[in-house]
Amino acid sequence: MKTWTKYLLGTVIVAFAGVVFYKKVFIPKHTFATLKPVQGDLQESVEGMGNVGALRTYTITAQTGGKILKLFADNGSWVKKGDLLIEIDAVDLPAQIDAAHASLTKANYDTQASQSELENQKAQKALVQITYDRYKKLYEKGFASKAEYDKASADLHSIDALMAATASRIDAAKSAATVARKNLDALGIKTNRLSVYAPADGYIVSKGAEVAQSVSSSTPIFTLIDPTTLWVKTTIDERISTNIRPSQSAFITLRSQPDKPYIGVVQRISATSDPITLEREVDVAFTTIPKPFYINEQAKVSVLVKNHADVLTILSTAVVQKDKHTGIWILQNAHAHFVEANITAQNDTQIALSNVDKNTQIIIPDAAKKALSEGMKIYQ
For the segment 13-43, what is each residue's pLDDT rounded down to a tens digit?
655 555 544 455 455 567 788 888 888 888 8
| The predicted structure's pLDDT at residue 287 | 94
| The predicted structure's pLDDT at residue 20 | 47
Q: Which residues of 171-180 are buried (b: 16+ CB within 10 A; e: fewer)?
A: eebbebbeeb
CB 288, CB 250: distance < 8 Å = no
Q: How far is CA 374 from CA 209, 362, 371, in A?
A: 69, 14, 10
111 and 238 together in one domain: no
CB neighbourhood size of 287 (10 A)? 12
213 and 77 together in one domain: yes
167 class by beta-carbon count within 10 Å (0-12 exposed, 13-18 middle, 19+ buried): middle
The CATH number covering residue 65 comes to 2.40.50.100
CB 220, CB 205: distance < 8 Å = no
In this structure, is residue 343 part of a structural domain?
Answer: no
In this structure, is residue 371 part of a structural domain?
Answer: no
In this structure, is residue 285 part of a structural domain?
Answer: yes
* 128 SS3 class: helix
Q: How far is CA 332 from CA 34, 356, 362, 378, in A?
A: 12, 13, 9, 9
| The predicted structure's pLDDT at residue 8 | 59
Q: How far, in Å, CA of 189 to CA of 101, rounded? A: 15
In this structure, is residue 250 part of a structural domain?
Answer: yes
Say if strands 325-332 and 335-340 run parallel, antiparallel, or are unpaired.
Answer: antiparallel
Cis geometry, peptide bond prior to residue 94 (ω within 30 degrees of 0): no
CB 58, CB 202: distance < 8 Å = yes
72 and 215 together in one domain: yes
164 and 282 together in one domain: no
In this structure, is residue 376 part of a structural domain?
Answer: no
Please write the tens of the pLDDT for every residue from 309-322: 888 898 888 888 88
Tell whether the torsion through CA atoms of 54, 56, 59 and 60 is positive or negative.
Answer: negative
Task: Residue count of the chain, please give it.
Answer: 380
The CATH number covering residue 232 comes to 2.40.30.170
Task: Give the chain's residues under pLDDT 70.
Answer: 1-29
Domain limit, last residue, from 275, 308, 341: 308
77 and 216 together in one domain: yes
115 and 173 together in one domain: yes
Domain limit, last residue, from 142, 172, 192: 192
216 and 133 together in one domain: no
In this structure, is residue 346 part of a structural domain?
Answer: no
Phi, psi at 365, each rounded to 5°: -60, 150
In this structure, is residue 208 part of a structural domain?
Answer: yes
187 and 269 together in one domain: no
Domain limit, last residue, from 144, 174, 192: 192
In this structure, is residue 107 part of a structural domain?
Answer: yes
In which domain, by residue range, is 176 found? 93-192
284 and 303 together in one domain: yes
63 and 200 together in one domain: yes
120 and 181 together in one domain: yes
298 and 213 together in one domain: no
Please write the tens of the pLDDT for every residue from 190-247: 888 889 999 999 999 999 999 989 888 888 999 999 999 999 999 998 888 888 999 9
CB 196, CB 85: distance < 8 Å = yes
CA torsion angle 57 63 66 68 (round to 10): -50
| The predicted structure's pLDDT at residue 2 | 55
Whole-model pTM over 0.75: no
Q: How far, in Å, CA of 98 to CA of 205, rounded? A: 39
Structural domains in the chain (count): 3
Q: How far, in Å, CA of 77 to CA of 205, rounded? A: 8
